[in-house]
């Protein structure tokens, strides 16, 4: 080899493959195929996906419905901000509003009964995370996200925003009570 002459042309795929390289390429290929086929399997048979709907709406129309539910089913107020707690009857539509940096109102549901929970953001993208049940839904502005839930255990659950929504994102938490 000379500094004056260009290096000889080599085609990389015609070079011999080291045994360890081939082993790692084979492992990566097998893992990719496993994950490729598991994703549709988990989607169909995993039962971790919520059956939910989403409808386009305006903040004004959604807020009107939420305020009607609060006026009809309010039982008390909590926190320093006097957030209303609503206790709707089983089978009813319940509206939950996400806005910087709060959830409104607080829900009080009954165990073993189904409810249709409506979620909408009034401003930015938020995330609805119900813990410890590990339910996660992205809450988009302009869309009424509807999910049917049937709480099975009594207790106090945390609602947390899991999509960064600004400087006070860490304070965007609420409660859901199941009696």
pLDDT tens digits, one per residue of 7-19:
677 777 777 888 9
CATH annotation of 52-178: 2.60.40.420
pLDDT tens digits, one per residue of 56-110:
999 999 999 999 999 999 998 887 788 899 999 988 999 999 998 889 899 999 9
In the 3-class helix/strand/coil scheme, how is the chain assigned residue by residue? Answer: CCCCCCCCCCCHHHCCCCHHHHHHHHHHHHHHHHHHHHHHHHHHHCCCCCCEEEEECCHHHHHHHHHHHHHHHEEEEECCCCEEEECCCCCCEEEEEEECCEEECEEEECCCCCEEEEEEECCCCEEEEEECCCEEEEECECEEEEEEECCCCCEEEEEECCCCCCCCHHHCEEEEEEC
Domain spans, the chain: 52-178
């Amino acid at each position: 080899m000379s500094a004056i002459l260009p290096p000889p042309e080599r085609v990389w795929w015609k070079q011999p493959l080291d045994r360890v390289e081939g082993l790692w390429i084979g492992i990566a290929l097998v893992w990719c195929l496993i994950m490729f086929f598991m994703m549709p399997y988990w989607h169909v048979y995993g039962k971790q996906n919520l059956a939910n709907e989403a409808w386009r709406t305006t903040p004004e129309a959604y807020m009107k419905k939420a305020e009607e539910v609060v006026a009809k089913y309010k039982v008390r107020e909590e926190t320093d901000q006097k957030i209303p707690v609503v206790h709707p009857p089983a089978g009813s539509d319940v509206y939950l509003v996400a806005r910087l940096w709060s959830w409104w109102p607080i829900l009080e549901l009954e165990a073993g009964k189904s409810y249709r929970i409506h979620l909408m953001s009034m401003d930015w993208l938020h995330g609805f995370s119900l813990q410890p049940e590990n339910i996660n839904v992205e809450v988009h502005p302009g869309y009424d996200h509807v999910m049917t839930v049937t709480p099975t255990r009594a207790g106090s659950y945390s609602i947390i925003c899991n999509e960064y929504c600004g400087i006070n994102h860490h304070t965007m938490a609420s409660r859901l009570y199941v009696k």
